[in-house]
Amino acid sequence: MSGLKYTPAEEIKARILKFQNGLIQLGFDAALITQHTDLFYLSGTSQSSHLFVPASGDPLLMVRKSFQRANEESSIKDIINIGSIKKIPDVLKKAGFKTSGVIGMELDVIPYNTCLFYQKVFSDYEIMDVSGLIKELRLIKSPYEIGLLKGACNVIDNVFRETPGMLRQGMTEIELASLFEAGMRRRGYAGNCRMRAFNQDFLFGNITSGKNGAIATYFDGPVGGAGLTPANLPHGAGWKKICPDESIYIDYTCVVDGYTADETRMFVIGNLSSGLKDAFMAALTIQHELVKMAAPGVECGEFYEKAVSLAEGFGMAGHFMGMGSEGVKFVGHGVGLELDEWPVFAKGVKMKLEPGMTFALEPKFVFSDGAIGIENTFVMRKDGVEVLTHAEQDVVSVDRSLK
């Protein structure tokens, strides 16, 4: 894999048109987009910019840095260099845009003080939240986007296939993480997995072994891990040495050309305990049943209820998606340019599956002696789900005599 991949002009044009239709339905006169992920989705560039999208007419991309790269990356027709955000109202006025009315901004992610600043700059506008429209717009992926997601899935699949050769008894979790991450980096992982949720900073993914899989963290996921320090990202791979006959849990994202694959696979040097083997088979069964019920029109909350019911039937409800009170209340989530996109497979969620949605399902169990489970990335089709991640799903056992 080599070379930069630019978003086709027809993709950007179609997204802008859908966005403008949404603005009209909301009664908004325009939107001003500045968050990196949304900016990339609607313009094709992540350079420091503000994208002004009127409810009708051509958008204007105002770039602070780097103007040269924004011109190369974006197919937006009107791109200008602007030194200060304070100049935007004058720029819009000179360009013939309406400079009053309702303007949508991403109030779910813009910090409060920054929002106050924008309110001063755009004093003639009423600023309203447009984040819901953007999330809805990004919910259904185009064939182009699904193609990029498949590429990311292929990368992480290949690294999982190489993982048995990385394993060595006595290596630390962070050593294994460095080898796994290097496998993805040299294949095109840019090194940043974006999440929209506040304070859910995330780096690559998660490796735990044995009892470290039961260590809970701040992260809103079923499995935590010791991490390297309490100071920064206390999550995932730590200094623990990997021992024989304990679960090696690898849950990683892979972001290639912006799109996020999410996959979990299990390994062991030697053999797992019978209890963990039973839990793994339960996770596979839950995944199988969720895949069977996936069809357009099914409510996302039904998947969580089904998964919990199955976990209860296996006598493992207190360990499903985390142990005890540390468990999380979902069994899947959308994936795309961000890891925590819509849809969410959680209790009470009424959103219905539609063709073009991309998501991960991740039934997992956590016990005092380790974490175990499975996760795959899917795309919803008209006739059922298509799995996009294809690495070996069974627990991969490595002969400890060779390690």
pLDDT value, residue 98: 84
- Cα distance between residue 395 and residue 227, in whole Å: 23
Tally of CA atoms within 13 A in the half-sphere of 349 that contains its CB: 23
Q: Strand order in 125-129's β-sheet?
A: 78-81, 60-65, 48-54, 30-33, 101-105, 125-129
Write out pLDDT tens, residues 18-75. Answer: 999 999 999 999 999 999 999 999 999 999 999 999 999 999 999 999 999 999 999 9
Three-state DSSP state, 169: coil
> Are β-strands 364-367 and 370-373 bridged in parallel, bridged antiparallel, or unpaired?
antiparallel
pTM of the model: 0.95
Residue 192 has pLDDT above 90, yes or no: no
**Range 375-381 average pLDDT:** 98
Write out pLDDT tens, residues 237-278. Answer: 999 999 999 999 999 999 999 999 999 999 999 999 999 999
- Cα distance between residue 261 and residue 258, in whole Å: 10
Question: Could you give the domains of the chain?
Answer: 9-138 (3.40.350.10), 140-402 (3.90.230.10)
- Cα distance between residue 143 and residue 128, in whole Å: 31
- Cα distance between residue 257 and residue 254, in whole Å: 10
Q: Which residues pair with 334 in a beta bridge?
A: 341, 359
Helices 9-26 and 131-139 pack at an angle, to 10 degrees, of 130
pLDDT band for position 1 (cuts 50, 70, 90):
very low
Are residues 382 and 296 in contact, defined by beta-carbon separation less than 8 angstroms? yes
Q: 94-98, long-range: CB within 8 Å, 24+ apart, which pairs?
A: 95/60, 97/30, 97/52, 97/54, 97/57, 97/60, 98/29, 98/30, 98/54
Q: Sort 344 into a burial class: Cβ within 10 Å, 0-12 / 13-18 / 19+.
A: buried
